[in-house]
Structure 1
């Protein structure tokens, strides 16, 4: 029986038993399908950071609507001095209310800047979620690739074991030298070592996926194949690089920076403080009103440094937007080309695999019949192993290409839009 087919049946049987007998544990240890895993990862630290950034911007926007607080002051005059002010008979006590009045549209500028800050944070959040979905897809694919490499290694160990048994039989019959058996044993030991390495790589890949998804219990396997879902070319519309989430986020950052420049310019306008109070005149046993207006003199501090810093920040945001547009255009062209190349590579790898399978089958028949040396059988099996790796590498490259194209399109690798 073919080794890969037998192993798949065993995996399916094991999964069914685990789902029936240990359903809770299995779900805790097995990564769900990618779309479900992405939804569950909403509680991961990476997503929590993005949500916190949006909440921070919303808090700042709320604070921007606040008006300056008034003050109340109480003070006394003309007491505890020299005669005739030695006592409290001539004391003048004033209770005063001071109300600051913002001029120059400061509050409206702050509110506009706060709204722009929220929009920028939300745009960054959407782009960050899309980047997280892209990274999670690559981690999921890497774990699946690592799992399949174990399958390839197990196939090669199984085939090398069968070849060793044939070599032993031929040596026992006197048709092969003892050296051929040692060569087959050496090959088998090498493949077993590669199998252990593949298992270690799978553990590392699953640990990486678990950490990225925010899972407290490390995954021990995958419940779905992301590589198989990408075997067919998805239907996608034209890609507009200028509408990618990265460009939108950079544009929102530029708008927010421009609003902050306006805030700093308006901050240079002096504010009035209106004053009204009640004064108690002890000597005359009378009460009188007091009123006034104060205006700061902007002689030394004209907010020039903050204005210059805000302008520099705005220039940087403009430059980042221009760079994001150029990068998006280049990435779009590259992504479309890479997807086409990956599909062609995968098709060519499948043809190579078919040829390598037939070559190994014929080499095995010839060796068992004593018509070819062991070296040819080992070379054919090595070629088959290489072909299997080529197929897997092509599938991994296709996943990376599709993930990059999906990211530029604003959707996950499985087609869900990012909110």
Structure 2
């Protein structure tokens, strides 16, 4: 698309340069600031007094929806309407760097034909060497989320069974830079929202302290921190995860401080791979999650790529796992220690207990218990598969005649083709 006059072309080119410079340099400054922060979140990030609250960004909660609408208009050749909407978006959310880049593209398209989106002049892109590629990748991930929607009614394969008491669940697809939020209602778990998310600077598969990678696995939210408890770097708040979990420890993985958190108040989003191992979301989107999910009962799956399945298609697998756990419960209630111990791995460990110590403790406990029956309440089963098969089973152990009991969590792994418990502990 060519400009109508030389004067108009010059003014548009200058405007475009200003927008690109703001987008690229603003992001470069954010990157510099991020490097000044500790390698991973620690309790030192918590502040005793709240910082001044930044002015809220107008309509920022729908920023991604508005950006996608602009892309649709560009695809339909309606660039004039797209330009108006892009200008409104950057006015409302000035720190949305990707929106700034799209706006600059649309301005440049009025002065000359664009060979590709995000084609910044070399003198501008040199101001922040890697930032332009990061913005392009962010655009690709956001657009892919529009095109590659999960099948209607499908759930991540890791959600084998979630009880009604689990009100929400979260799944992160690291390859797609996407976080999915599910809500448990009368019809079971349903996808209610999904958001762009950033992961580790050096990718995924965390294994050691400070490796700047995001862990893969099944976790639980342990606690919540509001924004006024944190430095501005973590944005609107944070949800802390139980990394390393017992499976991670068994694999020798180290580190900690893995959070779902926001971004600094002068940014809207971070590039796809830019954290020290956490999962970061735009503050408006994080706030909708902070307000809904409950610590301790909310599972979080972080996968390289999510496998979506229809709940009914895995019913037989679910029943098989259910029967396995019921077999453990009946062995426990029978008072037969040898029958019960057959469910445990010789590599079992739980706190200070190894297998021999656990066997002694179980023998004593079962002897005191006699044959008193108990039920499993609010049974939750999460599955995971990498080089090993894993089940994470959480339940309330309630003795007959009682209303409440201890909350336990077990980790099951396959040994010689058979499921064995390699960790069991009380978590509440």
TM-score normalized by the length of structure 2: 0.20
Higher share of residues assigned helix: 1
Whose radius of gyration is greater, 1 or 2? 1
Higher relative contact order (CA 8 A, sep 6+): 1
More strand by share: 2
TM norm structure 1: 0.21
